[in-house]
Structure 1
Amino acid sequence: MKHQFTLPHFPGSTFEIETSIWTGRPTLFKDGTAISRSNEKGKPFLIPNNSGEIVRAYPKPRYMDMVPALEIDGILYDIVDKLAWYQYALCLIPLVLIFIGGGIGGAIGGAASVFNLQAMRTEGSVTTNYLKVVGITALAFALYFLVAYLILS
């Protein structure tokens, strides 16, 4: 999922960041062009500014979120707004399956929680986002009980 944002260091430019669900590695785009990363410590993105200088933007993980923040010159820039505590609580309900179903329940609950966090961040109606999260949670529980039934029978 791509998230669009702007940075004060680059007026007139639009950025997008895409984070892989599988690896968690972010990819940064400036005005539609992919930005390369350095191999130095912290693996910063090397963003050219209008004067030709290179600005290093370090991706910093955020607690319980797939979308990192960017640190430029010691200042941390949030790319997306933080979710409220009740939004996190709703998204993480499928993790209850860890206690009900052990490893299988944990795998299903963990995957559903990641999808819930992404669904909560999608563009559009807030009501639609909440309905998506409730639907994903219900499907996770249904899938767990189906798998448990198939294993036990």
Structure 2
Amino acid sequence: MSTPPSAEPPALELDAPEAPALPTSRGVRTGYLIAGLAFTALGIIGAFLPLMPTTIFLILAAGCFGRSSPKLEAWLLNHPRFGPSVRAWRANGAIPRKAKVFACLGMAGGMAVFLLAARPKLWLGLLVGAIMAGCAAFVVSRPAPPAA
């Protein structure tokens, strides 16, 4: 006995990664949801404060929402302002050139503020500078998103 064909063929998402299975524990899902909301709040704050990052918090929020609330994950991925950068990171680990420039300028500015305000000992200044340089090298080494 065969089933009648449906009127609509199933939608296929060719390049979409498989969604992770939601944790079975309600407490774990709630923890991911709270973390996702906190990361979203930090990302939104970062959109308005010059030295606070935005995209990294939204990438983390999308990951948390993917494990707790598919509706919030979809909202973030489809957001007109924040969605494209989160989707580009998920698809290719890509960072747009403009974002790379702003990230490196932000790190340099943060380093300057640290040196001027904290007046650290030489070894601490060098350590923080090396960490900042490593982070900047990672950002610069990421590919640019493919042209649309």
TM range (shorter): under 0.3
Q: Which has the higher contact order (CA 8 A, sep 6+)?
A: 2
TM-score (norm 2): 0.22
Greater strand share, structure number: 1
- Return the index of the structure with the highest Cα Rg: 2
